[in-house]
Structures are given as C-alpha cells and as structure tokens.
Amino acid sequence: MKQPYTIIALTALLWGIGSADLSAQVAFTIRYYDKRIYYVSDAPIYVHVTLTNNGPGPFRFKLADERAFSIDFDVRTMTNRAVEPADILVRKRSRQQQVYFREIAIESGESFSFVEDLRSYADLQQSGSFIVQAKMYPELYRETGGLIGVRPLESNRLSLSIRPPAIPGPDGLPLEMDVETNAVLVREKLPPDDVVRYLLTARQKSQWEKFFLYLDLEAMLARDSVRQRQWLAESEEGRLRMVARYRLEIQNAAVQDDIANLPTEFQIERTTYNEIDGTVTVQEKFRIGTVTERKRYTYYLHRKDDIWTIVDYLVNNLGTE
C-alpha cells in the first residue's frame, strides 16, 4: 500500500527538480510595453512578455494559438486578495474545444516575445493598487490541474495602479496622461505641420505616450496588403493584438527607415493640405557612427472631427554629410 505514495512522492520530487532547472535556464519577464496612466475602463493594458534562454541548449515549449492556454496572470490587491478572472477568460477555458498550438524552440542566448492584454485575464473593474505576476505553461494550461510534467514558469512582479474613470475632454476625445508630468494629454486641433513637429520632438525626448498620440496605427497597418488581409480576417481581440504588436515594432525601431528613427535634427520643408488630407515634407538628420545621414520623410495626414492624424509616410535617402 505504500508503493503508490512512493511513486507520487518521487514524481513530485522530479517535477520540482525539473522546475528548478527550467527556471535557472529560462528567464521569464514581463513589463508594460507602453507604460501609461490606467483607468477603470475597457482600454487595454498591454503587457510585453519575454522568454530568454540562458541555458546551453535550445528551450522548447508549446505555444497555444489561444494564448489563454499558455499563459496566465495572477493579479492581487495590496492586501493579497486575488482579483477574479475576466469573464472572457472563464468562457475560453470552460468550453469544450480542441487546443491548437505550435512548438517553439528558443536557441541559447535568444529571446521570444509577445504582447497580451491584461484585461483579458483579470477583472479589473475597480480602481486601486495591484501586484501583477505572470505564469507560463510550457506544456499548456490544464483546467483540472495535476502533474503535467513541467511546472509553470513565474515572472517578475509589476505594480499596477488603476484610477477612477477619466472625465472626457470637451471635444469628446479620451484624455491621456503624460507619465512624466502627470498632466492630461489630449489631441488638440493642430495644423498638419504642428502635428508632425509634435511627433518628432516627442521622439527626440523619448516621450512615447506623446509620440503615439497623433499616429493612426490602424490606418498605418493597412499600408501593407498582407497585414490588411490579416486585419480583415481577425476578430476584434485579434485586431487589438495586431495593433499592440505593430506599436511595439515601431517603439523598438525594428524596421529600417522606420517612423520611430531618432533624428538629431529636423526641418519642415513643405506643408500642403485641403479639408481632409494633408502632406508634410521634412528633412531629417540621423547620426550613424561617425557620419550623419540625411533623409526626407513625407508624412501623410487625415483630418477627422477637426483632428489631424498621421496615417502613412514615405522615406527617401539624401546621402551623408
């Protein structure tokens, strides 16, 4: 009668050892990909999730197409009371379904990242202060629990502050907050050249909340025919993921000649616009090593509700100096 208990104890011991080895090999970290002031609302709270392989060999894991079966978020109040899971998370995990996944291999020294909306995991309908920690399930999440071969990886903890609902501005646009000054950020009725000047100045100061204020990311996504087809095929949740990934790509300057390249100098050359469309041409200089590159950026803007936003851009190289 002692044998089953011995087997269970031995399995648990091996499981714990495997978990310890995995934690030493893989760094699992989270951060806010676009830190800002958060309110009681339906606005997403995007979290950047990163797995880094610090071990000598490749790290392999299963990543579900529906991320709710690969990752979870433990959100607690300052009194250590767990926040209830979001309704959408409960529905996803409770229905009978086939969980589709792909196997990912991260080579030694490499990382794998993606972005998740925290509100898809936790019912954050009350203002207050919270602590956020993520769990990653290399062998997928199991609703029934039990031994599944590998214990979940646990991330670092983030502090989260959610404020009462913000009062909308006089023009009906949602108010945003400047993280550095705690002042209200709101789109103003600026002419096209001032919109571009605002964006470039914000980029020079690495003020990302200001940099994205006048960018229409959905319209910019539509520039790529492949992404446009994917956009049309996605659900509302999938589209939010696409915007989050695209915003992260811009902020990380992952694309050559990207709009987020850091100019050392810029000069607005020409501005033309009518009632709904505008174009602003800017010569920008970039310090690359020991040389200075000159490029001409052409920004295309669209006017809606008296607000100009950037919907597209082109880049021409002008050589070095």
Same domain for 66 and 92, yes or no, is: yes
- Cα separation, 167 vs 169, in Å, equals 7
Provide, rounded to the nearest whole percent, the portion of the chain with pLDDT above 70. Answer: 83
CATH code, 143: 2.60.40.2360
Written as six digits, the tokens of 195 are: 């919109």
The conformation of residue 317, written as its DSSP 8-state character, comes to E
pLDDT, mean of residues 45-69: 91
CATH code, 224: 3.10.450.50
Instruction: Supply the pLDDT for residue 206.
Output: 83
Write down the pTM of the prediction. Answer: 0.51
Same domain for 117 and 241, yes or no, is: no
> Structural domain tally of the chain?
2
In-domain check, residue 282: yes
In-domain check, residue 217: yes
- Cα separation, 282 vs 284, in Å, equals 6
Q: Model confidence over 4-54: pLDDT tens digits?
A: 443 334 334 333 434 446 767 889 999 997 777 787 877 789 999 999 999
- Mean pLDDT (the chain) is 82
Instruction: Supply the pLDDT for residue 225.
Output: 74
Same domain for 11 and 91, yes or no, is: yes
In-domain check, residue 170: no
Q: What is the dihedral of CA 112, 117, 120, 122, to 10 degrees?
A: 100
Same domain for 157 and 8, yes or no, is: yes
- Cα separation, 95 vs 163, in Å, equals 33
Same domain for 159 and 183, yes or no, is: no
Residue where one domain finishes, among candidates 98, 129, 163: 163
In-domain check, residue 105: yes
Same domain for 159 and 227, yes or no, is: no
Same domain for 57 and 110, yes or no, is: yes
pLDDT, mean of residues 191-201: 95
CA 167 to the chain's CA centroid = 25
Is residue 276 over pLDDT 80?
yes
Same domain for 8 and 151, yes or no, is: yes
**Are 211 and 34 contacting, i.e. CB atoms less than 8 angstroms apart?**
no
The residues facing 316 across adjacent strands are: 296
Residue where one domain finishes, among candidates 129, 163, 197: 163
Domain extent, residue 269, equals 176-320
Same domain for 107 and 194, yes or no, is: no
Q: Model confidence over 154-167: pLDDT tens digits?
A: 999 999 998 876 55
Higher pLDDT among residues 215 and 231, named by residue: 215
Instruction: Supply the pLDDT for residue 30.
Output: 95
Under DSSP, is residue 86 helix (H, G, I), strand (E, B) or coil?
coil
Q: Model confidence over 77-121: pLDDT tens digits?
A: 999 999 999 988 888 888 777 888 899 999 999 999 998 999 999
In-domain check, residue 168: no
In-domain check, residue 171: no
**Are 285 and 263 contacting, i.e. CB atoms less than 8 angstroms apart?**
yes
Same domain for 222 and 150, yes or no, is: no
